[in-house]
């Protein structure tokens, strides 16, 4: 019978994010780490459903201003980070690729960096500049928090080819697959 810890979701995700960041060798500011923890905690509690696709939401939010504009940018960035981190394998088999979400997230957070208060601006800048690294952290959190079996090596390799994920490269190497960085650059040209 499983035992349950009396931890709050925030404490639970804080431990997982710290462990994932250490395993992925991702150093981040304390505030950015806290932001990622709160992002994951928020998705546990999320009751709101969104019918609008993220691409159009980003488009309209790029042409707005004020608090609603920043809220929409943050939603697009957060949703892109979460979806790409938790569901990257599903995205590989869908019409919308992980690269699409990476571009949406980087753009949304990059725009927020310039329009948010200076403290959060630094967080959003860090998330924009290192989006794929934080996708890897969230993917690691997913793996640490579930009893998943390994994905196929082919899907993992495809993820690495398309996004350049350092985590995917390390997982491939752990499975004995030699990752040739020149293959990826020639594939993308």
Mean pLDDT by 10 residues, the chain (189 residues): 59 91 94 94 66 82 84 93 86 80 95 85 96 94 65 68 82 71 52
What confidence score (pLDDT) does residue 147 get? 41
d(CA 114, CA 120): 10
Q: How far is CA 128 from CA 132, 172, 185, in A?
A: 9, 25, 22
End-to-end CA, the chain? 52
What confidence score (pLDDT) does residue 27 get? 94
- CB of 159 closer than 8 Å to CB of 98: yes
What confidence score (pLDDT) does residue 182 get? 62
pTM of the model: 0.71
Q: Which of 95, 108, 106 is nearest to 58 (CA)?
A: 108
Q: Which of 113, 105, 112 is nearest to 138 (CA)?
A: 105
Q: For the chain, percent helix, then strand, then coil, each to nearest 5?
A: 75, 0, 25
What confidence score (pLDDT) does residue 168 get? 81
What confidence score (pLDDT) does residue 119 get? 81
What confidence score (pLDDT) does residue 21 get? 95
d(CA 21, CA 26): 5
Q: How many helices (H) and strands (E) does the chain have?
A: 10, 0
What confidence score (pLDDT) does residue 138 get? 94
What confidence score (pLDDT) does residue 188 get? 46
């Amino acid at each position: 019978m499983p035992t349950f810890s009396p931890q709050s979701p925030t404490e639970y995700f804080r431990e997982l994010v710290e462990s994932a960041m250490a395993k992925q060798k991702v150093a981040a500011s304390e505030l950015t780490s806290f932001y990622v923890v709160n992002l994951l905690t928020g998705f546990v509690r999320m009751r709101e459903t969104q019918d609008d696709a993220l691409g159009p939401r980003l488009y309209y939010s790029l042409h707005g201003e004020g608090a609603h504009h920043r809220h929409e940018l943050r939603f697009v960035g957060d949703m892109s980070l979460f979806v790409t981190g938790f569901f990257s394998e599903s995205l590989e088999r869908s019409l919308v690729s992980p690269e699409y979400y990476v571009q949406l997230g980087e753009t949304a957070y990059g725009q927020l960096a310039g329009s948010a208060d200076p403290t959060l601006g630094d967080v959003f800048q860090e998330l924009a500049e290192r989006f794929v690294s934080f996708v890897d952290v969230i993917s690691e959190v997913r793996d640490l928090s579930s009893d998943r079996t390994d994905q196929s090596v082919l899907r993992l390799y495809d993820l690495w080819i398309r996004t350049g994920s350092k985590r995917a490269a390390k997982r491939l190497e752990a499975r004995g697959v030699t990752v040739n960085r020149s293959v990826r650059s020639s594939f993308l040209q």
